[in-house]
Amino acid sequence: MKPPLYVHIPYCLQKCGYCDFFSASAPCVPPEYVRAVARQLEHLARAFCVGGWKSVYIGGGTPSLLGAEDLEFLCESIKAAALNKEAPLDENCEWTIEMNPETVSRPLLEKAASCGINRLSVGIQCKNDKVLRAIGRRASERDIEKAAELIKNFWPHEWSADLIAGLPFQTKEDIERDIDFVERNGAKHVSLYSLTLEDGTPLKGAIDAGKIPYDEEAAEELWLDGRDLLEKRGFLQYEVSNFARPGFESIHNGAYWAQESYLGAGAGAAGTIYGKPTGWRYTNILDAAEYIKFWLEEAKGFTDLNAGRANQEASQDQEARGQDCSQGLNAGDGNCSQDKNCGGQPKGCTNLNAGGAKQEASQDQNVRAALAFPCQLEALDMATQEFEYIMTNLRTRRGASAAEYQARYGGDLAARLGCKEAARVQNAGEPKGFTGQNAAAARWIEKIERDGEVFYAMTREGLLFLNKFLEEL
């Protein structure tokens, strides 16, 4: 199995005023944190029989605070954790690292490229000093310009720009100038987010107190202006907040939206393992110091115990059934001790789609044992997984596959979405508002036939009302 991997670097020079992600202020990333991540990676790969990585995303926080040596160690640890030592990365592995403009440097870019990273995600947000100061960003217009110049001259691969619409003091002219800037500097992917005011953040506090002006309706209009301009420039909206030149869509994020199992390492990182009858989502402890302490000081007995248990169970299971598995996270039956995708290395691993009630109970126990490190653990029943499948797939213009939905959840997707009655509703007149699921489906869902397969997707305008539509389900 080659799942996507997310690695969280929670350290920032300064937390932005709008951010409610888990992060900690620090001038750099402690080397011991990187070593702790390496230990968790080794455990996860062994526990879930990871032959290699489909994609890797190093996010934060500010991953570009990593020193050159620590970045190299982290990248080598990611590759070393995979059980297939000859091919630890998928042939088309997309490997992204987030960077903030003020931390971009030539040595960092060159080191990232030499380590195998092939994509940057650069947090520009807005190229206006007044706006940047209002939201607590450290970067200035000059920092952004300097970063873009360095990327143009010293980065041999693709890069994506993060922009936010609806920021205090931001204008339509700012949005247009920002899109011009990233296009002119070679970005082929743009994430355009709408500002979300999160409770407890300094920015929301300042707006609520009247210290910073904010107009929600005007903010929404700015996002629409940005969307329209991006599409005019050839950046196609392939997901609610993501736009790309054809062929440059994010592989890693696409795996999330397609409901693929993925793993996460680092304090605050999350992973999700989908399966029947129960899936599991874990979020690592939201404390970097405790995370380091566990994985560097306390985890040895835990990882050794789980490795020994997994090897013993795998050996017994293989002897009884005379077979192995080669799928790991998404295989069809049993455990494996000699995974062909793992390069033939004898490792105990958990197979997450075992067949039969007895096997499902055993693998469920194994998954929980493998995730018995400091984290918040959430069980996902089939109803939750089914709703999440619809929610994530409808975020994309590709939409949800009727055949895949039926195979996973045994139902009729068109009926589930309310599309069966759409023609009747439309014949009764143009539906107004969200008076029911059938009316909503008639107005905002379209049926698409592609390569002999049927998909149901939100229309371009329907994406704006996705949350309202999901409330009707």
Tens of pLDDT, residue by residue over 161-220, are: 999 999 999 999 999 999 999 999 999 999 999 999 899 899 899 999 999 999 999 999
Instruction: Kindly list the distances between the CA atom of residue 466 and the CA atoms of 353, 393, 459, in Å, as whole numbers in the listed order.
Output: 30, 11, 10
Q: What is the DSSP letter of 101?
A: G
Q: Is the pLDDT of residue 440 over 90?
A: no
Which helix (H) or strand (E) segment holds residue 24: the answer is: strand 24-25
Strands (E), 167-276: 189-194, 236-239, 242-244, 263-265, 270-273
Tens of pLDDT, residue by residue over 256-280, are: 999 999 999 999 999 999 998 999 9
CB 43 within 8 A of CB 372: no
Greatest Cα-to-Cα distance within the chain, rounded to the nearest angstrom: 70
Domain ranges in the chain are 399-472
Q: How would residue 21 be classed by pLDDT, with cut points 50, 70 and 90?
A: confident
Q: In what order do the strands lie in the sheet with 263-265?
A: 236-239, 242-244, 189-194, 158-165, 119-125, 89-99, 53-60, 4-9, 263-265
How many percent of the chain have pLDDT more than 90? 72
pTM for the model? 0.88
Q: How would residue 17 be classed by pLDDT, with cut points 50, 70 and 90?
A: confident
Token pair 């929404």 in the structure block, residue:
220
Tens of pLDDT, residue by residue over 337-376, are: 334 444 444 344 655 444 555 556 667 788 888 999 999 9
CA gap 393, 395 in Å, rounded? 5
Mean pLDDT of 108-119: 97
Burial of 441 (0-12, 13-18, 19+ CB in 10 A): buried
Nearest to 445 by CA among 392, 386, 394: 394
Residue 314's pLDDT is 39
Q: Measured in whole angstroms, how far is the alpha carbon of residue 180 from the centre of its chain?
A: 27
Vertex 307: Cα angle to 286 and 359 (nearest 5): 95
Residue 359's pLDDT is 58
CB 417 within 8 A of CB 445: yes
CA gap 327, 353 in Å, rounded? 10
Tens of pLDDT, residue by residue over 227-266, are: 999 999 999 999 999 999 999 999 999 999 999 999 999 9
Residue 325's pLDDT is 32
Q: How many CB atoms lie within 10 A of CB 471?
A: 11
Residue 319's pLDDT is 40
Nearest to 61 by CA among 95, 82, 35, 30: 30
